[in-house]
Amino acid sequence: MGREHRLLVLLVCLVLGGALTAAVLGASEGKGPHEAMSGAMSGAASGAVSGAGSGAPAPGDFVDIRDVPPTREQASRPGPDASTGSFTVDCGRNEEGHYNQDNLVISPGLRHGAHHTHAYVGNRSTDAFSTDESLAAAPTTCRGGDRSTYYWPVLRRPDLPATRPYEKAAGHGNTGRILTPVDVRLTFHGNPAGQVVPMPRFLRAFTGDAVAFTARGDEGVKARWGCVGLPDRSTTRYPRCPVGDRLTRTLVFPSCWNGLDTAGPERTHLLFPAANGVCPQNTFAVPELRITLAYDAPPADAPIALDSFPEQRHSPKTDHAMFVNVMTDDRMTKLVTCVNTGRHC
């Protein structure tokens, strides 16, 4: 019986080990097909990893912005057909308190599929079960009637207690007081290589790499962090800003559309252009969305932590954002005209 008992224990360990491995893989927000597996096992995974990744990021994730060299980017010279304009959308700062742990773009239909908290502006109804029809009928925080949804993981002070229900809901090591941005800037830009075409309505977009900490490289890292007072410096680490300054995080979305799809599990329907603005073959330039969030800079040495999957340890490299275009065709036409004619609207 001793030998049989040992075999039974070994079998149980193998089964549990396989389940936990699948759960960790499923927590990857950048791996669409695996997300469903994560949701199916969320009960087991929550118990296994809820304590992992808690607290603040590692000290090496922080840098004094004054120690970051100025960025000397060689901007591409616009071509003769460049679209040099911009179009800014005002959707507020989430004064309404729209938060949840869903991710409509990556894991539609899966409640709490993100395993961390997202903050929203724009469409006030967005959750895991939103449809094109429900989004088109919902109220919005945006001026001008834009019902698009814009969202990103929250930034926290893990040294301060969470007091509001939505601050406590995420778990998985994402704890502490949520910082509210003092400014949210949503701007669509043109393309230095040529004109842009309208985005299709209900186009889903994603930028960043939610699993960048455990990735083999930084190719998917798109967020840049900085301080308002030193706009020529940016970093992929959490910046320590001078007293009285504002901390910023900026996310740029892919802007080359395949002309066919509005969504896809592997997100191949939208790609980034080359440095000179030229889109990959068989794709078309659409307006480039940039989201910039600004926060009152925390006191020196105060911990800050981006919500993340447990194994990502709140790394600033994992910053990401999502967008669903719910503009009317008329409004999108105005946006494209503004950008293509070089105006700033």
What is the percentage of the chain residues whose pLDDT exceeds 70?
82
CA distance linking residue 106 with residue 211, whole number of Å:
13
Chain position carrying tokens 């591409």: 76
CA atoms of 95 and 201, how far apart (whole Å): 26
Condensed to tens digits (0 to 9), the pLDDT of residues 13-62 reads 443 444 433 443 344 444 433 333 333 333 323 333 333 345 568 889 99
Residue 4, pLDDT above cutoff 70:
no
Digit-coded pLDDT (tens) for 104-134? 999 999 999 888 999 999 999 999 999 999 9
Q: 282 burial class (0-12, 13-18, 19+ CB within 10 angstroms)?
A: exposed
pLDDT score of 171 more than 60: yes
Q: What is the dihedral of CA 330, 102, 154, 119, to 10 degrees?
A: 40
Cα dihedral 78, 268, 151, 66 sign:
negative
> Is residue 272 over pLDDT 50?
yes
Among 153, 135, 133, CA closest to 29: 153
User: Can you give the pLDDT at residue 5?
Assistant: 44
Task: Indicate the pairing of strand 320-324 with strand 149-153.
Answer: antiparallel
pLDDT of residue 175: 93
Report the distance separating Cα 179 and Cα 305, nearest Å.
10
User: What does the DSSP 8-state code read for residue 267?
Assistant: -
Residue 222: both structure tokens together: 């798109």
pLDDT at 38: 36
* Residue 212 near residue 316, CB atoms below 8 Å: no
